[in-house]
């Protein structure tokens, strides 16, 4: 079950955290993995891990926010069977503490980056007769997370794009679903704790762990397992759905 043998998968942001875990697992399941990362260096540790386990992997330096770069990269890769829109950046702020520059930056990567990859992927899916798209949304798409205005706005858009694409391409055998994790322990989390709460890291880490009723953060490998299921043929009856993976955050808090 859950084999990706003979499938070509593109994973954006596959150099770190959730994207790295997805890339490693997909390669283990037989996929030819194509990582889109800001630089070849940022993809290197994933490439090394997959190569060491005998998997097939290619790294492409590509900023998902740049339309022409994304289209050219997808054309170079050619026909695909799986796309995971994972690349994303974080931001802390309420609407009145979010600068226009920061808002535009978050939208450029977290919304336009997903649009760019969806746009570029459709012709490549058509060559394969269809396939599966998995988008990284967030619990922020579902509930108002305090102090995350731009990030929540962007992740709401990711969930809506998922529905739109699922409807528009259902007759072309392209499935599209999203995953909504609560806090997952990745460099993304460590980075924003260090940046926004310097000197207070341990206390904030503990607080963020306890914000999931289950009492801890998720592991990147747990998100990767769900992504694998949704990308696999075993999930062939699933499209236009979002899957929270959140230690009870959405339904069990309060
Ligand atoms: N970690 C969490 O708690 C959490 C929770 C919910 C959703 N998510 C979502 O999961 C996804 C991955 O998060 P993560 O925690 O693994 O992040 P991460 O920062 O560890 O990794 C993100 C990767 O994306 C790459 N990237 C960033 N901007 C890019 C761009 N413009 N073009 C190409 N690559 C780019 C980075 O180089 C990095 O390797 C994000 O979309 C994030 O919003 C994360």
Residues marked as catalytic: 151
Residue of 254, 7, 40 lying closest to 134 (CA atoms): 7
The residue-averaged pLDDT of 7-11 equals 99
Whether 253 has a pLDDT exceeding 90, the answer reads no
Q: Where are the domains of the chain?
A: 8-182+220-241, 184-217
| Closest protein CA for atom 13 of ligand 1 | 18
What pTM was estimated for this model as a whole?
Answer: 0.97
> What ligand 1 atom has the least distance to the C-alpha of 155?
43
Among 141, 186, 195, the mutation site with the greatest number of ligand 1 atoms within 8 A of its Cβ is 186
Helix (H, G, I), strand (E, B) or coil at 32: strand
**Inter-axis angle of helices 220-231 and 17-28, to 10 degrees?**
50
CATH of 8-182+220-241, one of 3.40.50.720, 3.40.50.150, 1.10.357.10, 3.30.70.141: 3.40.50.720
Residue 97 pLDDT: 98
Q: Is the Cβ–Cβ distance between 117 and 64 less than 8 Å?
A: yes
Between the CA of 89 and the centroid of ligand 1 the distance, in Å, is 6
Interval 108-164: pLDDT, tens: 999 999 999 999 999 999 999 999 999 999 999 999 899 999 999 999 999 999 999
| Ligand 1 midpoint to CA 86 (Å) | 6
For residue range 67-86, what is the model confidence (pLDDT) as tens digits?
999 999 999 999 999 999 99
């Amino acid at each position: 079950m859950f084999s990706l043998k003979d499938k070509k998968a593109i994973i954006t942001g596959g150099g770190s955290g959730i994207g790295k875990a997805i890339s490693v697992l997909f390669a283990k399941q037989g996929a030819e993995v194509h990582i889109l990362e800001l630089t070849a260096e940022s993809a290197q540790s994933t490439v090394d891990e997959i190569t060491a386990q005998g998997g097939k992997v290619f790294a492409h330096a590509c900023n998902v926010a740049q339309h022409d770069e994304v289209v050219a990269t997808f054309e170079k890769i050619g026909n695909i069977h799986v796309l995971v829109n994972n690349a994303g950046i974080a931001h802390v702020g309420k609407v009145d503490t979010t600068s226009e520059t920061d808002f535009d930056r978050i939208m450029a990567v977290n919304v336009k980056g997903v649009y760019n990859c969806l746009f570029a992927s459709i012709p490549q899916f058509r060559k394969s007769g269809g396939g599966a798209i998995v988008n990284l949304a967030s619990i922020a798409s579902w509930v108002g997370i305090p102090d995350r205005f731009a990030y929540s706005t962007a992740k709401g858009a990711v969930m809506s794009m998922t529905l739109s694409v699922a409807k528009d391409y259902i007759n072309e055998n392209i499935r599209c679903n999203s995953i909504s994790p609560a806090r997952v322990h990745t460099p993304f989390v460590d980075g924003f704790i260090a940046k926004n709460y310097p000197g207070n890291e341990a206390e904030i880490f503990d607080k963020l762990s306890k914000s999931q009723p289950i009492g801890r953060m998720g592991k990147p490998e747990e998100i990767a397992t769900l992504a694998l299921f949704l990308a696999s043929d075993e999930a062939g009856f699933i499209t236009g759905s979002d899957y929270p993976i959140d230690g009870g955050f959405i339904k069990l808090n309060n």
